A = this chain, B = another copy of it.
Amino acid sequence: MPPYDPSAFPPFAVTVDLVVLTVRRHALCTLVVRRGEEPYRGRWALPGGFVREDEDLSGAAARELVEETGLCAHDPAAPPPVPSNGAHLEQLATYGAPDRDPRMRVVSVAHLALAPDLPAPRAGGDANSARWAPVEELLGEDVLAGTAEAGTALGAGGAEGSGDEAGGGGDGKEGGPVALAFDHARILADGVERARSKIEYSSLATAFCPPEFTVGELRRVYEAVWGVALDPRNFHRKVTGTPGFLVPAGGTTTRQGGRPAQLFRAGGATLLNPPMLRPEV
Max chain B CB contacts within 10 Å: which of A35, A47, A52, A94? A94
A81 to chain B, nearest CB (A): 15
B98 in contact with A54 (CB, 8 Å): yes
Contacting residue for A96 out of B2, B37, B48, B57, CB 8 A: B57
Q: Complex formed: what's the CA distance from A47 to B4 in Å?
A: 15
Q: Complex formed: what's the CA distance from A198 to B3 in Å?
A: 35
| Interface membership of chain A positions 41-62, coded 1 if the CB is closer than 8 angstroms to chain B and 0 otherwise | 0000101111111111100000
Instruction: Provide the residues of chain B in CB contact with A54, threshold 8 Å.
Output: 98
A69 within 8 A of B: no
Report the copy number of this chain in the oligomer.
2
The interface-forming segment of A5-13, A137-145, A152-160, A207-215 is: A5-13
Interface residue range, chain A: 35 or more
Interface residues of A (CB under 8 A from B): 1-4, 6, 8-14, 33, 35-37, 45, 47-57, 91, 93-98, 103-105, 107, 109
18 extra A-B contacts, CB within 8 A, seeds A9-B50, A57-B96, A91-B94: A1-B47, A1-B49, A4-B37, A6-B104, A8-B50, A10-B51, A10-B52, A12-B13, A51-B96, A51-B107, A53-B105, A55-B98, A56-B97, A57-B107, A94-B94, A96-B109, A107-B107, A107-B109
